[in-house]
Homo-oligomer: A and B are copies of this chain.
Amino acid sequence: MSAINVAILGATGAVGTRMIEQLEQSEIKINQLKLLASPRSAGKTKSFRGTTYTVEAATPESFVDIDLVLSSAGGAVSKKLLPFAVKAGAICIDNTSAFRMDPKVPLVIPEVNPNDLDWHQGIIANPNCSTIQMLVALAPLDQKYGLRQIVVSTYQAASGAGQSAWNELLDQAQQHLNGNPETASILPVSGAPKHYPLAFNLLPQIDVFEDDGYTHEEWKMIHESKKILRHDMDNPDLKVTATCVRVPVPVGHGESIYFKLNQNPTVTDLKKTLEAAAGVTLQDDPANQLYPQPITAEGQRDTFVGRIRPDYENPGSYNFWVVSDNLLKGAAWNAVQIAETLLQRNLLG
Contact = CB atoms under 8 A, between A and B. Distances in A.
Interface of A: 149, 151, 153, 155, 170, 173-174, 176-177, 188, 192-194, 196-197, 200-205, 209, 212-214, 239-241, 243, 245, 247-250, 252, 254, 256, 258, 267, 284, 286-289, 291-295, 306-309, 311-314, 317, 319, 321, 323
A309 to B, nearest CB: 5
Given A201-B295, A254-B204, A177 B170 contact: yes
One complex includes copies of this chain to the number of 2
Nearest to A169: B200
Given A196-B295, A243-B321, 10 more contacts: A194-B288, A194-B289, A200-B248, A204-B293, A205-B286, A209-B289, A212-B309, A213-B309, A245-B256, A247-B247
5 contacts: A173-B200, A201-B293, A204-B306, A205-B291, A214-B309
A258 B241 contact: yes
Contact of A200 (B176, B197, B249, B254): B249
A196 B283 CA distance: 15
Contacts of A245: 155, 254, 256, 321
A280 B209 CA distance: 23
Given A202-B323, A239-B314, A243-B256, A286 B209 contact: yes
Contacts of A173: 173, 176-177, 200
Nearest to A214: B309
Contacts of A289: 188, 192-194, 196, 205, 209
